[in-house]
Every structure is written in C-alpha cells, then in structure tokens.
C-alpha cells in the first residue's frame, strides 16, 4: 500500500520501479522473518525467559524480551489504538502495545468503575495470550481529575491550581487522581499539561498552570503525585519511575511550545528563537524529566514552521540525548497524520518523518492496520533502520517493566471505592478555595463587600447568572465528554448555588434568578442585602475554545450591569482564562476569578462567606483589551488591568 503512495507516475518506468521495490521489500521481509523466527524458536513458550523474572536487572529483562520479538511484535508495541476498536482479538492479532480512551470514550454511559475494570481486563487478556505475553498499557486523559468517568472527583483546571502557587497541593491532587484512575483499572494518564500559555486566546489556556515558566516548573510536582516520589537513592536521571499499583505513569505534554502559537491559535506555529524556546517553553520539561516522568507527548504545533511531530532535533537530539529522557515519546491523537497538509495526504511520508524524528508510540485511534502495514514496509525497504524500531520498543518496555505491568497485568476491584471518595472531594474543595483570586473588594471610599455576611439583615439575598447553578459549566472541557457539557445531570457534585445555600444562615432566603430583568431588580432592590452574580464561558476544549475577542458571553454583561446597578454585588467569573471585564468593573462592588473550579462548588462559597480567606494570586496577566495580546509579565510594554501575581487577601470571618 505504500508503493501506490510513492508517486512513481503512470509510465512503464514507474510501474517497473514499483515492481522492483515490491520485490526488494518481499526479499527483505523474508530475511527479517527468518532471522526473527529463528531467534524466537528456542523459547517460543517463554519457558525459562529471563524477562519474566522480576529479580533480574531491568536492562537484562528488556534485552531478553527485545531479542525474542519479531518485527510484527515490535511494531505492535509502537501502536496505540482507540478503545472502541480494541477487542481482545484485535489486541492479540496485531500485538497491540497500548489502548486509549479519547475524550468521552467510555464502556457505557455512567459506567461504574467495575465496568471499566472488566473492559480493560478483557483487552489485557488478548495481550497476555500472545506468544510473548506483553501487557498493554491503557491510557486516558485525566487532566483535572478522572474526567471521563461518572462520579469522579473533578479538580480545578490547571490555570486555577497555578494561582495557589502550592506545589505540595498539586502533588496531593496528583496522588488522589492516580487512585481514582486506578479505581477503573487504568495505569497511565495523559497528564500533566506543562504548556506555558503566553496568549489567553488559546483554547487550551486553562490546561496551563501559568504564563510564567517558573510557576509551571514548580507545579510539575503533580508528576510526583501521579507516579510517586523517587526515593533519595533512586535510579538513573531521566529514567521513568512509578512507585506501585496505587500510582500511574504520567505524561508531560505537549512537547514543546504549544502555548506560544501565533494569536493563540491551537495547533498553530510558534515563532521563537532557540533561546526563547529554551527559556520559556522548555523549563517544565527539565523538571518533568528529573521527576522521572514516564512519557512525553509531542505537540500538534510547529516551531518556526517545522511540525513538532517531525522535529528530530528537539525530540531526539534535545529530549532524548541532551536531557537523557529514557521513557517513551508518544504522538498526539492522529498527530503524525497532521505532519502533512491536508492531514493523511501522504501517510508513508508522515510515518517516516515521525518515527525518524524519535516518536516511539503512535496514537493511531482508527487507522492502525494502515499504520502497521506502512511502518512494516518502511522497515523492510530500509527507510527506517531496525535500530530506530528497537530504541522505540526498548523505551516502551522500560516503562512497562518499571510500572510492574508484567507482574500485575490485570486490574482488580479493590480500589473501586477510591473513585469520587469524600477525602478527594475535600481536597478538591480546598483546591477551589485556594485557587480563587479576589480582584476587587469594595468601591472607592466604600467598605469592602467581602466576606459576605451569612445572615441577611433584610432576610434575602439574590443569586443570579448562568453559571450559578450549572455543574457542567463550572467543570469546563474534558469532563464526561471531550468538549464538556452544560447542566447538572452529567455527574455528581455541588454547584456554586448549592454551596451558597449551604453556607448561609438558615434564616436567610436565597433567591435564584438566572437572568433577572431591570424591572424586577428595581422593584425588589430593597428586598436583597446583596447579590452574587455568577457568569462566564461555556465549556470547550482545544480548537473549539480558540477565541479572538474574549468577551463574557451574553447575557453575562447585561446580568452584571442590571444587578450591580440596583444591588451591592460580587461578580464571580467562571472561565478558563481572563476575559474582558474592564467595561463592567466600575459597576461591581467585588470581583472574583473562580476559573473552572470543578465539581466542588462549595469551595467558592467557603471563601465568599469568610470561612476561609482569599489567598490566590494571578497565574496570568489580566489584560485590559485583546488588542494588547499577547502580553506577559516582563514585556517592555506591560499595561495590565491586573498584573501577574495580583490578588487581594481577606481574613476568615469570626462568626
């Protein structure tokens, strides 16, 4: 199938060349099959195999297993396919090395953890019944909790965690997420995103801890939560590390420069000097490698016009050789397809460029048979050397051995109680409290509005806005589905309105009106002591979130202006990034950036009502207008509405 893409033309000479290539490939295949089958014959049943002995040194096990593998088995290990294709028979037939769930890809709607465990184990059975019994590694996006899974704890997205400035909190969150992921039988997460978002117009900006590389570097502590802390006398620098069956392999993404694209357009081109790339976007990867991160995912984006999926210099020369990263490099979803424009236009070329650049495992959700056939051809005809294949497989096996997958290939149900458990929800609630940033508290010459009194002297308070009672909107993208969902029926959690109702004195009447008109407010303004207005962005992920104007979606601005013109108000903004607020700030008595807090909306009420003080500091610059973008701390022309690091503080109330 590769030959017809080779472009030999329609002449008889082209046909002759294709025939000769096919004959040469067939001869190479015969030699490879003879060599690999002879090597595998002595221990075809695995009897006495050193790779099966956990007492053997790691490299001995890797060498022993690699020496037994055929080309088909090696290429199978390099293939990661989507769950919906991954029957036990497919995994067995193609020697598949890895399976993934894309966003929203689940065994059944609202599936309990036991259903996940059974699904993963069914696929694993296919892998374990192959000649060599190499287990699959199942991966899933868990970028702010185990987001695909019903009733999982959803933590604040990274933009909020960056505002806590607390690496220890991030590490605790990583450990909790690892347990919830393991509860469903999954040992590998495509997290954390360590992008340094330099432009909030980017649809993935909420996946970034900060615009500042130092903040992102510090928050790579979440990797040690996912994987466990490397012991003081730990292994070789750059080697992957996973502590045990209560931890998961992590994945730093998206390598490298994904947060620096022109105009913040997703998957676009990052124009930067080598020094800028190294000083802004690369530092988090230094820390990730030091922390023993198991895998690194390559970015869809380009650097100065060169697709990252085809960048040998940055993947092989820098990451693997200079930083001495010893885990495996994985492509993004159909990432090698997108090396060409349009995508998949020349798949042979894409595979050649991607594999030779240094990608070890390829995320090929659907076209895995084509990938396997084409990569086989490229090895057979000498385009891709066997040494490159062996490097890729060696790295994949190193991670699998390190994780203990060979000793514990099957998941069990002993951890199912970890999913969504109260201890994790309490941690998420704490993370919400500490991620909130107070941007304004009181009009000039007036007393601060926050913290709010729990007991209303007039008996009533008003809660307004589209995001006050919407669990899906406060969770954002990567929750239950890829793009996220609005509404309260997607999973279990507490909305901000629920939290307010629980926080106030029983004698205080909480009146909720999503979009009260000016007439209603004028008639009832004497009734309400104050109002809480909660507005923001709808859920989105990736390219669907790219936004060049960053305005608060309607009817948010009208709700702010109508309510705040009549009643003392605090505006709580639920968003994945700073939005245009300057036109409305004067009308507000207080403004809180709540980011995307996740399932524990009670954490917002905890701080609004003074059970805890505001402590969060902006992890990104809050611009005045989009015309200023990109604008980051340290720029020569820096004129923000609220600067990087800004955040008013309050003390807890003594009720």
d(CA 273, CA 258): 15
Q: Residue 607: name the closest of 590, 619, 624, 621 by CA.
A: 590
From 332, 470, 546, 600, the catalytic residue: 332
H helix runs in 543-654, sequence order: 556-566, 582-585, 602-608
Is the distance from CB of 373 to CB of 76 less than 8 angstroms?
A: no
d(CA 294, CA 398): 9
Is the distance from CB of 472 to CB of 485 less than 8 angstroms?
A: yes
d(CA 119, CA 511): 45
Dihedral of CA 544/549/553/556: which sign? Answer: positive
Tokens of 391: 């490097």
CA distances from 552 to 3, 237, 485, 556, 579 (A): 53, 46, 18, 6, 6
346 as an active site residue: the answer is no
d(CA 193, CA 210): 11
- Residue 188, φ and ψ in degrees, nearest 5: -145, 130
CA distances from 243 to 34, 90, 202, 220, 476 (A): 40, 31, 35, 17, 31
**398 membership: H or E segment, kind and range:** helix 386-403
* Calculated CA dihedral for residues 632, 636, 637, 641, nearest 10 degrees: 40
**Cβ neighbours of residue 112 closer than 8 Å, sequence gap 6 or more:** 150, 416
d(CA 184, CA 149): 9
From 469, 542, 546, 589, the catalytic residue: 542
CA distances from 420 to 113, 179, 423, 426, 434 (A): 10, 10, 8, 10, 20
HEC secondary structure over 282-320: CHHHHHHHHCCCCEEEECCCEECCEEHHHCHHHHHHHHH
332 as an active site residue: the answer is yes
d(CA 509, CA 501): 9
Active site residues: 332, 542
């Amino acid at each position: 199938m590769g030959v017809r893409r080779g472009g030999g033309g329609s002449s008889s000479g082209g046909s002759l060349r294709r025939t000769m290539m096919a004959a040469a490939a067939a001869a190479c295949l015969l030699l490879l099959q003879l060599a690999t089958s002879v090597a595998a014959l002595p221990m075809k049943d695995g009897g006495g195999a050193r790779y099966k002995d956990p007492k053997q040194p790691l490299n001995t096990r890797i060498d022993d297993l690699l020496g037994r593998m055929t080309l088909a088995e090696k290429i199978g290990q390099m293939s990661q396919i989507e769950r919906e294709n991954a029957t036990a028979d497919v995994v067995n037939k193609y020697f598949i090395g890895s399976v993934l769930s894309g966003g929203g890809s689940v065994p059944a709607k609202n599936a309990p953890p036991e259903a996940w465990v059974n699904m993963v184990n069914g696929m694993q059975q296919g892998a374990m019944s192959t000649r060599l019994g190499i287990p699959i590694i199942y991966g899933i996006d868990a970028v702010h909790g185990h987001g695909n899974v019903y009733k999982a704890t959803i933590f604040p997205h990274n933009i909020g965690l960056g505002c806590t400035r607390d690496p220890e909190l991030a590490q605790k969150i990583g450990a909790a997420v690892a347990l919830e992921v393991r509860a469903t039988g999954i040992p590998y997460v495509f997290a954390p995103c360590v992008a340094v978002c330099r432009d909030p117009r980017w649809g993935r900006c909420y996946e970034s801890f900060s615009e500042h590389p130092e903040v992102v570097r510090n928050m790579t502590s979440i990797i040690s939560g996912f994987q466990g802390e490397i012991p003081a006398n730990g292994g070789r620098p750059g080697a992957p590390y996973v502590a045990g069956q209560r931890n998961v392999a992590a994945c730093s993404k998206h390598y490298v420069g994904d947060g620096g694209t022109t105009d913040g357009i997703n998957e676009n081109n990052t124009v930067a000097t080598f020094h800028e790339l190294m000083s802004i976007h690369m530092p988090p990867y230094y820390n990730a490698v030091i922390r023993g991160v198991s895998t690194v995912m390559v970015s869809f984006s380009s650097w100065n016009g060169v697709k990252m999926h085809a960048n040998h210099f940055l993947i092989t020369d820098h990451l693997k050789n200079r930083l001495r990263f010893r885990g495996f490099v994985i492509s993004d979803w159909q990432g090698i397809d997108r090396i060409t424009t349009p995508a998949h236009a020349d798949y042979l070329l894409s595979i050649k460029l991607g594999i030779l650049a240094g990608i070890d495992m390829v995320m090929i959700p659907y076209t895995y048979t084509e990938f396997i056939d084409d990569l086989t051809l490229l090895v057979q005809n000498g385009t891709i050397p066997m040494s490159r294949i062996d490097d890729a497989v060696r790295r994949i096996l190193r991670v699998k051995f390190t994780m203990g997958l060979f000793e514990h290939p099957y998941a069990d149900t002993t951890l199912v109680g970890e999913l969504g458990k109260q201890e994790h929800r309490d941690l998420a609630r704490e993370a919400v409290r500490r991620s909130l940033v107070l941007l304004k508290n009181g009009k000039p010459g007036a007393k601060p509005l926050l913290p709010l009194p729990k007991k209303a002297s007039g008996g009533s308070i008003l809660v307004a806005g589209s995001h006050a009672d919407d669990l899906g909107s406060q969770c954002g993208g990567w929750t239950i589905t890829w793009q996220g969902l609005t509404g309260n029926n997607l999973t279990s959690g507490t909305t901000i309105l629920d939290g307010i109702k629980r926080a106030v004195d029983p004698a205080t009447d909480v009146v909720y009106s999503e979009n009260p008109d000016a007439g209603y407010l004028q008639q009832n303004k004497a009734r309400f002591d104050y109002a809480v207005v909660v507005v923001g962005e709808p859920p989105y992920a990736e390219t669907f979130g790219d936004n060049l104007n960053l305005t608060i979606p309607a009817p948010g601005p009208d709700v702010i202006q109508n309510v705040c013109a009549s009643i003392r108000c605090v505006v709580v903004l639920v968003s994945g990034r700073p939005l245009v607020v300057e036109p409305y700030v004067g009308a507000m008595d207080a403004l809180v950036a709540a980011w995307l807090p996740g399932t524990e909306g009670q954490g917002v009420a905890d701080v609004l009502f003074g059970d805890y003080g505001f402590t969060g500091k902006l992890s990104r610059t809050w611009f005045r207008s989009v015309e200023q973008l990109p604008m980051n701390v340290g720029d020569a022309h820096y004129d923000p509405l609220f600067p990087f690091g800004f955040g008013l503080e309050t003390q807890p109330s003594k009720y």
